[in-house]
């Protein structure tokens, strides 16, 4: 187990909490972050719900300890806040001899700033501040987080739609195993933008009442925002330094079924392959899994496809499962990392969080989600699924650390 990849720190910012303690409290009391739009103007205000981080950019600047700074995108600010928590929890100090990498994921980049630039520019090409539009790309927030934390050994960005931050954790683990880095801060961040909201609304997959994952009457997803980062290193290194270990990334798998630009394959081929690979790496049997944090977006296609895949892997004995997107909304590129932290909380608190707003079983499936908090559930191993547009499917297995 000396080369096992363990988690020695994590940080999170979401619609249900600005840190892990606040988030855990919301999960325990069943408080959802889905509600009215408050942080930006849109024609959908009062019509579509969002799961926003209820802080303005100015307030996030203060939260990150960056007084007077105005150049950051919202995506970067959310990422800095979460990565800072993870680094502090793991006792991270810049300048240590450990080769440290930052792998950050997102999908929207700095679109919130681009949306400020373009209306002015289109009205008059001599107007619009270039300091806004130059921060458009996905890598900008990664660079901002790396500079804030003082990381320069390895810095990269992953953008594979909604599996992005799950893939950042996988890449981080692989680089440590290959001896290329000693530790990695991996995760993702995404902010809500008009572009994102309008895009998903055009696809007609937004639930006007708030998402209802795995419910027969589900109407679509709810967009959310947030960020989460985990500190990965080997068990040997963590124990040598006397660090607390919050869990083990015992397995992971990725598969791309390339069925459709935005839809999952109807029979769940990619999802089945991803979960199968993750279980094989972890050397666990399906019967060893205590809980599945399903991708569970609440769309007709996703939930059915994922349900078929889960039943293929687990047969008639599907372990307790739930989608926590009913709490956080679908945070897109940040979803895999946010749900990784939730998986660790499930292990360390020994509880399974409920699938909110579920009422009616899906007629095609024999499985039903957990709908109330389960305490003392004996959580040892958790599968966390993240499936993205284009069929990029990733599954992670987190295990309780047993020295």
Mark 183-200 as b/e (b = at least 16 C-beta within 10 Å). Answer: bbbbbbbbbbbbebbeeb
Residue with tokens 């599968």: 383
Based on the residue annotation, tell me whether 366 is a catalytic residue of this protein. Answer: no
Which residues have C-beta within 8 Å of that of residue 139, sequence separation ≥ 6?
109, 157
100 in Cβ contact with 176 (< 8 Å) = no
267-to-160, 270, 303 alpha-carbon distances in Å: 21, 9, 11
Check 136, 138, 211, 295 and give the catalytic one: 295
34 in Cβ contact with 206 (< 8 Å) = no
Which is it for strands 374-375 and 381-388: parallel, antiparallel or unpaired? unpaired
314 in Cβ contact with 229 (< 8 Å) = no
Which residues have C-beta within 8 Å of that of residue 287, sequence separation ≥ 6?
317
Based on the residue annotation, tell me whether 162 is a catalytic residue of this protein. Answer: yes
Check 136, 211, 330, 351 and give the catalytic one: 330
Spacing of C-alpha 304 from chain mean position: 21
315-to-214, 222, 296 alpha-carbon distances in Å: 17, 29, 19
Phi first, then psi, for residue 156 (nearest 5°) are -150, 165
Check 162, 211, 351, 381 and give the catalytic one: 162
Q: What is the chain's Cα-based Rg?
A: 20
Tokens of 185: 């801060």
Which residues have C-beta within 8 Å of that of residue 72, sequence separation ≥ 6?
57, 61, 66, 80, 144
Catalytic residues: 162, 295, 330
């Amino acid at each position: 187990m000396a080369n096992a990849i363990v988690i020695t720190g994590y940080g999170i910012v979401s619609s249900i909490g600005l840190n892990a303690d606040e988030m855990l409290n919301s999960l325990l009391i069943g408080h959802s972050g889905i509600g009215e739009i408050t942080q930006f103007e849109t024609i959908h205000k009062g019509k579509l719900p969002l799961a926003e981080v209820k802080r303005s950019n100015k307030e996030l600047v203060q939260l990150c300890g960056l007084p007077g700074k105005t150049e950051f995108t919202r995506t970067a600010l959310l990422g800095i806040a979460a990565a800072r928590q993870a680094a502090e929890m793991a006792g991270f100090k810049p300048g240590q001899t450990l080769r440290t990498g930052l792998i950050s994921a997102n999908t929207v980049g700095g679109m919130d700033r681009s949306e400020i630039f373009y209306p002015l520019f289109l009205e008059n090409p001599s107007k619009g501040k270039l300091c806004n539009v130059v921060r458009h790309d996905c890598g900008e927030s990664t660079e901002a987080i790396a500079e804030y934390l003082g990381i320069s050994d390895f810095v990269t960005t992953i953008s594979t739609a909604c599996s992005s931050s799950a893939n950042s954790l996988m890449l981080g683990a692989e680089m440590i195993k290959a001896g290329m880095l000693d530790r990695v801060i991996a995760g993702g961040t995404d902010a809500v933008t008009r572009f994102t909201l309008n895009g998903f609304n055009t696809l007609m997959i937004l639930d006007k009442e708030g998402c209802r994952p795995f419910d027969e009457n589900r109407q679509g997803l709810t967009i959310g925002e947030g960020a989460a980062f985990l500190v990965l290193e080997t068990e040997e290194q963590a124990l040598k330094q006397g660090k607390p270990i919050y869990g083990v990334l015992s397995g992971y798998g990725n598969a791309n079924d390339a069925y459709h630009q935005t839809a999952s394959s109807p029979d769940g081929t990619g999802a089945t392959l991803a979960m199968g690979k993750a279980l094989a790496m972890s050397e666990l049997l399906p019967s060893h899994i205590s809980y599945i944090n399903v991708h569970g977006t609440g769309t007709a296609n996703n939930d059915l496809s994922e349900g078929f895949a889960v039943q293929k892997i687990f047969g008639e004995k599907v372990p307790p499962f739930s989608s926590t997107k009913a709490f956080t909304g679908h945070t897109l590129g940040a979803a895999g990392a946010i749900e990784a932290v939730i998986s660790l909380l499930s292990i360390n608190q020994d509880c399974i969080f409920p699938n909110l707003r579920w009422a009616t079983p899906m007629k095609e499936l024999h499985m039903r989600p957990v709908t109330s908090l389960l305490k003392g559930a004996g959580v040892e191993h958790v599968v966390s699924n993240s499936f993205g547009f284009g069929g990029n499917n990733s599954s992670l297995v987190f295990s309780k650390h047993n020295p």
